[in-house]
Structures are given as structure tokens and as C-alpha cells.
Chain A
Amino acid sequence: MRAGLPCWGGCQRGESMSEKGNMKETKSIVLVGVGGQGILLASEILAQTAMLEGYDVKTNEVHGMAQRGGSVMAQIRYGQEVHSPLVARNEAHILGALEKVEALRYADYLRPDGLAAVSTQAIMPVTVSSGAAKYPEDAKELLKQAFPRLVYIDAAKIARELGDIRAANIVLLGAISQGLDLALESWEKAIALCVKEKFLEINRRAFAAGRNYS
């Protein structure tokens, strides 16, 4: 840091943003789905969890046009010191998908030994309903080919059975939590921080159901 104008306060940053600092490699997670499925909330909870564990964290998502029923992606990276908020191709340790075709669309973000957790849900895009394109009937087979480590989970069904289909995003988050070195109590604390009191119980149960799925 160079000397300059006297600061109004708060301008000097600490040497390291991390207190933990025992993880050399930055972990990268990509969450994908369709606008409205709750990808952004899942991303926020994951980032909060990593922050509670003392890591430097960066996340990214695209707003605006992308939300109108389009394909949505959120990216989370945490570690000792994180520079890019974007995950590079072939870099993600985990790909979490709330929709089958979206999992396939972003398959190349996952590293070859990465874990893919994919919800069995199929949501028809306008290109299919208008007859301009076809939804692949063998999506499940394609997923098996694309992802050697695949957790195929009916997150929507599990959420519905728990009482609210909208918690499917948190079921999926529970499923991918098994592939991350973050403590359960941090996950629970993060969920409490990010979710409204009224929906806390269902989201807690949704997370547990996803985490215990095998």
C-alpha cells in the first residue's frame, strides 16, 4: 500500500481476509437451474456457510434478462484467498442442478473427478413447447455418461413430501453438502441467517433430507 491522501477511515485492507488458511486449493461450485427455482438463495446459503467457516468467499450470478424463465447459473468459490468470482471451465468441484438439461448445458464447468448432483426435474423451455426444439428423452442416460460421479435425486418430490415443493433448492443443497468440507453446524447457522423465520423449519428439514440422501 502506498502512502497517499490520508484516508477517511476503513481504506486499508487486512493482509489476509482469511482466518482459517489451512486450505490451499480454492473450492469452486456451480449451481444451475431455471429462473425462479431458487438458485440464488442456495448460492447465498453456501457462501454464508463458507464465510462462517472463516474462508474468503466470492460468488457471482447474473440478474435481469436471465431471470425471465431463462437458464440461471450461480457460482461460488471459497478458499484462503479467492480472486476470480467466476468458475473456469473444467474447474468446478461440484455441479448442482435443479433441472436435467441445465446440468448437461453446463457440464463442462465440472472437473473430470467432480461431483454432480442433479434433480430429476424436467422443465420444458419455450423452444420445446413451441416445437422448435426437442427435450432429450434420454436425459438420464446422458447425465450418466457426462458425470461419472452422479447423485440423481428427485429434489422436488422430497420437498413436496416435506410440505413445500419450493424447498427443492435446499434439498439439492443438502445433497451437495456431502461433497464439501464444511461443518454441519455452519450450514445450519447459514440457513437460519438467509431464510425467513416462517420458512426456517421446512428448509432445515429439506437440507437434512438432501444431506442424508444416498
Chain B
Amino acid sequence: MALRRLMSGNEALARGAFEAGVTVGAGYPGTPSTEILENLALYKPDVYCEWSPNEKVAFEVAAGASLVGARSIVTMKHVGLNVAADPLMTLSYISVEGGFVACVADDPGMHSSQNEQDTRNYARFAKIPLFEPSDSQEAKDFLKLAMQVSEEFKTPVILRTTTRVSHSRSLVEIGERILSEKKIGLVKDPPRFVPIPVWGRPMRQRVEDRLIRLQAISESSPANRLEWRDRSLGIITSSIAYQYAREVWPQASVLKLGMSYPFPDSMIREFAAEVSNLLVVEELDDFIEQHVRSLGLACRGRDVVPGIMELSVDRLLVSKALMEGRPVEVRKPSAFSDRLPPRPPVLCPGCPHRGVFYALSKKKVVVTGDIGCYSLGAFPPLNRMDSILCMGGGISMAHGLEKAGEPSKVVGIVGDSTFFHSGITGLLDIAYNRGSSTIIVLDNRTTAMTGHQDHPGTGRTLMGEATNAVSIEDIGRACGIERVYVINPYNLDKTSQVIFDEIAAEKPSLIVSRAPCPP
């Protein structure tokens, strides 16, 4: 019997990438995706891995590797794919050479995310195949299948997980690594790789032709399977929703979609014809259901299965009761539930961010925040963050508030990793367009929120090598910011003084609050 190990979905994806012969992996940390690349990096030197400054860069690094024939993956969380959407949409056109898989982790239920979005829509948007594993074994198997489909059809592929797939552990059979036989080197072919309109228009047609050929593969993919049981109810499902559906309707027949785009229309029709009642069980958007209906097939789905927040066996038991016309059992809260003090996450004891928030609490200013541990500065007792939009948004939003005439002074807050991710362009905008906001970089020398990953400012790479540590102050000055200060946030008096002076100043300022994240 093959060696089996208990692995999280993310560890299994890394193992799958290793076994599939991947030699280049890039990504930007983001819960619940971070451990994919962290685990792939353990296979060095067989695999080159890097934390790129942001997801767009990571995507392009992996795409470049693919163009010369290497098998590559790029990893990110769902909102990261928004950042990388530009290269995604056109990589679909210029096509890939070595297999290319984008591993994207969604966060239904918003455990650690600012929104809940369904990455499956991007597969249809970019007209590329989509794989959705439902446990760790499938995560490994589907990564390999996705790599194979990518290379054979020269298409980028999205492999979508969710928090529960990425962070659940289950048993995985370990396999052998299979290397590509391709010789590494760019085979020059501008009509294929350069999407200027004259060559881009034929690419546009090739994308559509490829989608038709991919549909035939979807019909026969081992990732899509029919499970025949009782035929009075048939369920079409994918990802972790499959596991919940199997618990709630153990007797029902199931069409389990693992390669869920392009849709296997013949399989769906065959399945629908054989069952008396059809139900679609999927998490977040009604991606499958809309397609099933477009085929002219009647089904239940969103009318009984909620599309907001993650599914669970508990929630599907309610769906089942609704379908069967039974009254839904209302759970009584325990007699003591209103006496239990809430326990929200907080900034760690000794966190250097506290000093800055404490100083800001003394001033009547508007604070535009950003994504990271310091998001917790919005909660009591600090209460010192007024908005959060997205990575890097804290800086550019501050500028927008100020230009629109916000009566209070405006302070933008960003972390060090987030500054390198997408804060620099916002700072450049403030300097260029004569803004006056005060920007504070909470520089704790690491990507803390996701578990202490390195970034361009730390002086170390994911491969464990020493490298040049980029100076945030130097970047600020290069952007054209004249008032640049470095403070120690544990020195509360000095911190307050610098922050107050810069808030009062008529020119834009960059304050780097520097103290390492305590161990």
C-alpha cells in the first residue's frame, strides 16, 4: 500500500505541484492560501519559490516561467486574483507552454477576509478550465490533472479551494515526481505571444475554439464523476459542499463536479434525465445552477440552499427540511448564552502597533486603514480606524478624502508588506498630485497576519537566502515625499509628537513606525 499521510489541503496542493514536476512557484501570502507556497518551498532546490511583492507580480513570474516551458504555479487568496486579473485575462490569449495553474483559495464565511467572492466566476470570465477539489487527496490529484490539462491545451487553469478544503486535514497517498521533458528556452513566436491587435484577434478566436475542445475533456475527466444511488433525488455539487451533501443525503445520487468549467453538459443532461428530482448544492454563487437552468433543466438550488456565508451540515439539514416541506427546527440558545463574554481577536500583548493607535486616539483625524493585523485597530478599546477597502487602499483613499474636502486632517495607515504590495503607487500619487495626507507605515519587519512571511523589506527570501533589504524611507523620498520620519512606537511621547507635527504640516508626510513583531 502506498504511503499515506495526514495533510491539509494546502500541503496536498504543494505535494501535487511537486509530483507534477513544477519547478517554479510564486505567490503572495493570504489566508487561507499561504501554506501552499510555504510547503512547496520545502522542496527546494527542486522547486524555486518566491514571495513576490503582490499577486500580479507573482502571476507574471509564474507566467514567464511557463512561457519558457517550465511547469509553474501561482498561489493567492480570492481577493489576490482581483489584483492579478489583468495578467490572467490576457494569459488566456497568449496561452502557456509549460503547465500553469493558479491556486486560488476562497474564504466563504469571511473567516479572515474583507469580502466573500466566488473565484469560479473568473474561470468563465477568462474562458479557462476550473478544478475544485473537495478534500486533500483530490487537492493533490486535481493539481496534477490541472497541470496536465494546462500543458496539453496550452491554457492557464484555475484550481479553486475554500477555507475548509485548504485548512482541513485528511489522508493523502504520496506519489512520485514526474518531470517535464520539455527543454527550457523560449521558442520565439511573436504571433503567439504578442497580443497586439493584428495577432490578438486570432488569439481571441483560438480561446473560443479551445473552450469547445476543453468541454469534451470535461465530459470525460476523472475529476467529474457520477455516483449512482437512489434516483429519486439527484444532487449536482462541487468542492466542500459535496462532503456536506453526502452527510445530509447519504442515499441520493450525486454528480460531483471536480473539473467544473467548462461544464460537462452531456453528463449533466444524462444525470438529470435519470433522477426524479434535481438539486444543486454549491457554496457562494449559483454558478452551477444558472448553467443547469440554461440547459433547460428544472432544479432546486438557491431557493433552499443559502448563497451567503459558508455551508455546513447544519445549514443543509435546514435545506432538506424545506425541500421536504417539514417545519424547520429552530435551535434554542442555551440559558447562559447571553452571559458569555465575547472573545474577539486582539492585537497581541506588546504589539508595536498599539503605540501609534494610542497617539492617534488623541487627535480628531480621519484614519483610512488597510489589510493586516492592524485592521484590529478598528475595534475597542483602540477604535482608531475609520475605513478599510483593500490592500494599499489606506494610502490612496486618504488622498481621495483629502482632495474631496474632508474637513478633518487625514491619516492613511498601511503595513510594511502591504506598502510593498500596493502602497507605493498611492504614495507616488500623493507626492505627484500635491496631496497633504500623513501616511504611517506600521513596519513590524514581517508579514505578520499570515504567519510571518518575508517580503522585500526583510532582507531574506522564501528560499532562505540573504538579499538586499529595501528601505521604505528611501522609496518615500524617491517618490518625492520630503517629510520622512522613522519612529520607535514604544516611545509613546516621541511617537505622539512626530505624528501630531506631521498631521499639522501642510505637506505630505511619510512616518515609518519601526519595531519588529514580537515573537
Whether A136 and B339, one on each chain, are in contact in the complex, defined by CB atoms closer than 8 angstroms, is yes
Chain B residues within an 8 Å CB radius of A134: 339, 341
Query: Which listed segment binds B: A67-75, A157-165, A169-177, A179-187?
Result: A67-75
Q: Is the interface of A mostly helix, strand, loop or mixed?
A: loop
Residues from chain A with a CB closer than 8 A to the CB of B173 are 10, 13-14
How many residues in A have their beta carbons less than 8 Å from beta carbons of B? 63
**Which residue of A48, A57, A133 is within 8 Å of B170 (Cβ)?**
A57
Residues on A with C-beta less than 8 A from B225 are 1-2
Enumerate chain B residues within 8 angstroms of A56, measured Cβ to Cβ: 170-171
* 5 A-B pairs with the lowest CB-CB distances in the bound complex, closest first: A64-B112, A10-B175, A64-B31, A70-B345, A133-B341
Tell me which of B115-123, B185-193, B215-223, B388-396 binds A: B215-223
Does A60 have its Cβ within 8 Å of any Cβ on chain B? yes
Asked if A146 meets B334 with Cβ closer than 8 Å, knowing A10-B19, A10-B141, A64-B450, the reply is: yes
Contacting residues, chain B, for A12 (C-beta < 8 A): 222
Q: A7: which B residues are within 8 A, CB to CB?
A: 144-145, 148, 222
Residues of chain B at the chain A interface (Cβ within 8 Å)? 2, 4, 6, 19-20, 31-32, 111-112, 135, 137, 140-141, 144-145, 147-149, 152, 163-164, 167-171, 173, 175-176, 178, 217, 220-222, 224-226, 240, 242-244, 246-247, 312-314, 317, 331, 334-336, 339-348, 373, 376, 380-381, 449-451
A88 touches B137 (CB 8 A): no
Q: With a CB–CB cut-off of 8 A, which chain A residues contact B345?
A: 35, 65-70
Contact A89 B314 (CB under 8 A): yes
Take A13-B141, A51-B171, A68-B348 as given contacts and tell me if A130 and B381 are in contact as well, using a CB distance cutoff of 8 Å.
yes
Please list 18 pairs of residues, one from A and one from B, whose beta carbons are closer than 8 Å in the complex, sorted by A's number. A1-B222, A5-B217, A9-B178, A34-B343, A44-B169, A47-B169, A59-B6, A59-B168, A64-B449, A68-B348, A70-B345, A83-B247, A84-B244, A89-B331, A101-B343, A126-B343, A132-B380, A146-B336
- B365 to chain A minimum Cβ distance, whole angstroms, is 23
A8 vs B32: C-alpha distance when bound (angstroms):
28
Contact A86 B164 (CB under 8 A): yes
Bound form: Cα–Cα A56–B334 in Å: 33
* B341 and A8 within 8 A (CB): no
- CB distance A88 to B343 under 8 Å? no
Q: Which A residues, 38 to 56, have Cβ-Cβ distances below 8 Å to chain B? A: 44, 47-48, 51, 56
Indicate whether A136 sits within 8 Å of B340 (C-beta atoms), given known contacts A2-B222, A63-B31, A86-B312.
yes
Q: B6 touches which one: A10, A48, A60, A66 (CB < 8 A)?
A: A48
Instruction: Flag if B341 contacts A127 (CB, 8 Å).
Output: yes
- Stretch of A102-110, A111-119, A195-203, A205-213 that contacts chain B: A102-110
Q: How far is the CB of B478 from chain A (nearest CB, A)?
A: 33
A63 B313 Cβ-Cβ under 8 A: no
Residues of B within 8 A of A62 (CB): 111-112, 163, 167
- A85 interface neighbour in B31, B137, B243, B450, Cβ under 8 Å: B243
Bound-complex Cα distance A1 to B227 (A): 9
- In the complex, A127→B380 CA distance in Å? 9
B344 and A5: CB pair below 8 A? no
Known pairs A57-B6, A64-B449, A84-B247; A11 contacts B141 (CB<8 A): yes
Q: Which residues of B contact A17 (CB under 8 A)?
A: 4, 171
In the complex, chain B residues whose CB is within 8 Å of the CB of A23:
none
Minimal Cβ-Cβ distance residue in B for A124: B341
* Docked-complex contact B220 and A2, CB < 8 angstroms: yes
Question: Considering the chains assembled together, what is the distance between the CA atoms of A188 and B479 in angstroms?
Answer: 59
**Chain B min CB distance to A118 (Å):** 14
Task: Verify B148–A5 contact, CB threshold 8 A.
Answer: yes
